[in-house]
Structure 1
Amino acid sequence: MLSFLSSSLSNTRQTLAQVLNFALVLSTAFMLWKGLSVVTSSSSPIVVVLSGSMEPAFQRGDLLFLWNRSPRAEIGEIVVYNVKGKDIPIVHRVVRSFPEIEGKEKTVKAAPESSPNMLLTKGDNNAASDEELYARGQDFLHRKEDIVGSVRGYMPMVGYELAELIESPPEGITVELANESNLYEWKVLMDGPDGSPYHKGKFHLKLTLPTEYPFKPPTVSFVTKIYHPNVTNDDKGSMCLGMLKADEWKPSSRLAAVLQFARSLLEEPMPDDAVEGRIAEQYRDDRKRYEEIAREWTRKYAVGS
């Protein structure tokens, strides 16, 4: 009885320690993001370009760094703005500014200092300016109310594959950032394929990119528990994918192909490349029992998650 209580208390302490560590990581990331927001005076100091309307200046997937402490935005400046009622950041160039400014000292023409800075924007790759993108009845952007920030720096192509996967994900897969301040950790939701024992399950995976990506492979792990010969049967949920091995990875490989291959393993496991030998042996020798357990785990851990 005492040993049972001791074991229960130990497990409780471990669980609490894990929860506190997770909360510490989240709070640290949140504070860093909020700190950056305060310094830049922008609600979203880092954004990813999701469209081609600013090509060739910026490509889809470029990572932009914003600054929002300037009182005015000048003609030719590239800004990020949100449309009222829609949470979609748009990256376009200022083509007109009101009230206009003149002279070397850039004084405002016949307007008091309190006059709001109004802007008209346009995508470099678009034929017309942005009036149709603004909110109903809005002809100009308000510098203080609508602008998220002005572009002050960028990293080319860092988020290209993320933008591509969010816009056109493979069948049965959705992708988003696990934390919008960290471009290198993705949350993946994967539907169990039809005809497999994982059907009707929704599995949460974590895809982590090393800072040396694409020259080093990403790692893929299951957050949702799954009974599978190619996924470790522990809290890590590490997935064994041949194409992600250091000696087989190619920098030209696409993350969409990685996720499609991961989902294909739910239909056809690879017992010869297993990380769980017992499950692989069961898959080869007693397929019926293997599928029964896989379905049971799917109902228990992956349905409604």
Structure 2
Amino acid sequence: MLSFLSSSLSNTRQSLAQVLNFALVLSTAFMLWKGLSVVTASSSPIVVVLSGSMEPAFQRGDLLFLWNRSLRAEIGEIVVYNVKGKDIPIVHRVVRTFPEVEGRHKTVKAVSESSPTPPNMLLTKGDNNVADDTELYAHGQDFLHREEDIVGSVRGYMPMVGYVTIMLTVTMGSQKRIAKELAELTGSPPAGITVELANEDNLYEWKIFMDGPEGSPFHKGIFQVKLVLPTEYPFKPPTVSFVTKIYHPNVTNDDKGSMCLGMLKADEWKPSSRLAVVLQFARSLLEEPMPDDAVEGRIAEQYREDRKRYEEIAREWTRKYAISS
């Protein structure tokens, strides 16, 4: 009996010791993090690069060390900023500052209190992006404010160290973003579009039903569309394909039914794009195809040169495949 009690007490002490050691590790890490935050004046002194928009300067998974005690950011400097209402930090380069800097001595132009342009405003851009970041900023925001939006400037990095963090962050952020957009689309769907999950256990595959737009050869047809989201969403675009056969220059005329959308190409996709816009654009192509961006050249040529015959075949296919008897 005594040996049993002794063994139980020993196990309890070991369990408590493990809990205390774990708590000590967490508290030490927290104090180090807070210490770095105070020294660097940054709310997040260490961040991980989550996208390839700054390649080749930085790759996905690089660990960045930030400093936020500089009074201003200069053109060419790489900064990390948070957009209002979004949790994902963005690492991009400053390409323009307001007020402008003049002369070799970098004398800052005076800005009066009544000036519509606040001091120390920044415009940023990813080295690997075609356009600047205005579409990534919050609604109605044209520039970043140095004090309000900037988390810090990059002062050092370690390559690929944060790749595990990327996988965890991207997966969790992806699921949160997808769940939010799904709720919005099911609660208030765009006209002529119905959205549901293909499988209740899988957030990444959606089943869409599109009504053929009035005035198009697809009118009165109901088309089933499959939307598949990558685990890296919103940093990588979804794919859209027609399950229901359709005669259209922008949809492959095979069992895959892949739809060609310019906004879904890897080099044109923007993480700020919303799935509601993607689906609305896909439906708008049923009304106004884009023959110059076709995946079926023969159908595109027929659409341009013999519109009447194109519409006859499209209506025939709609009656055959998209209208239930």
Q: Deviations over 1:105-154 (max 9, x none)?
A: 42321226999411110111111111110011111111111111111112
Structure 1: distance between partners of 2:162 and 2:197: 11
Change (3 A) 1:60 1:228: same
The runs of 5 or more residues in structure 1 that have no matched partner are none
Q: Is 2:83 the partner of 1:63?
A: no
Residues matched between the structures, number: 305
- Give the secondary-structure state (helix, strand or coil) at the position aligned to 2:105: coil
Contact 2:136–2:272 (Cα < 8 Å) also in 1: no
Change (3 A) 1:229 1:98: closer
Structure 2: distance between partners of 1:130 and 1:231: 31
Which deviates more from structure 2 when the two are superposed, residues 19-28 or residues 200-209?
200-209
Q: Deviations over 1:223-251 (max 9, x none)?
A: 99999999999999999999999999999
Contact 1:216–1:249 (Cα < 8 Å) also in 2: yes
Structure 2: distance between partners of 1:230 and 1:96: 39
- Give the secondary-structure state (helix, strand or coil) at the position aligned to 2:7: helix
Which deviates more from structure 2 when the two are superposed, residues 249-258 or residues 98-107?
249-258
Change (3 A) 1:282 1:214: same
Which deviates more from structure 2 when the two are superposed, residues 8-17 or residues 117-126?
8-17
Q: Deviations over 1:164-212 (max 9, x none)?
A: 9999999999999999999999999999999999999999999999999
Change (3 A) 1:295 1:110: closer
Report the structure number with the largest CA radius of gyration.
Answer: 2
Which deviates more from structure 2 when the two are superposed, residues 7-16 or residues 113-122?
113-122
| Coordinate RMSD, CA, aligned | 17.8
| Residue number in structure 2 paired with 1:135 | 138
Which deviates more from structure 2 when the two are superposed, residues 84-93 or residues 10-19?
10-19
TM-score, normalization by structure 2: 0.47
Q: Deviations over 1:50-94 (max 9, x none)?
A: 111111211222221111110100111110111111110111111
Percent of pairs identical after alignment?
Answer: 90
Contact 1:178–1:185 (Cα < 8 Å) also in 2: yes
| Residue number in structure 1 paired with 2:53 | 53
Which deviates more from structure 2 when the two are superposed, residues 139-148 or residues 149-158?
149-158
Structure 1: distance between partners of 2:126 and 2:303: 55
Change (3 A) 1:4 1:53: same
The runs of 5 or more residues in structure 2 that have no matched partner are 164-180
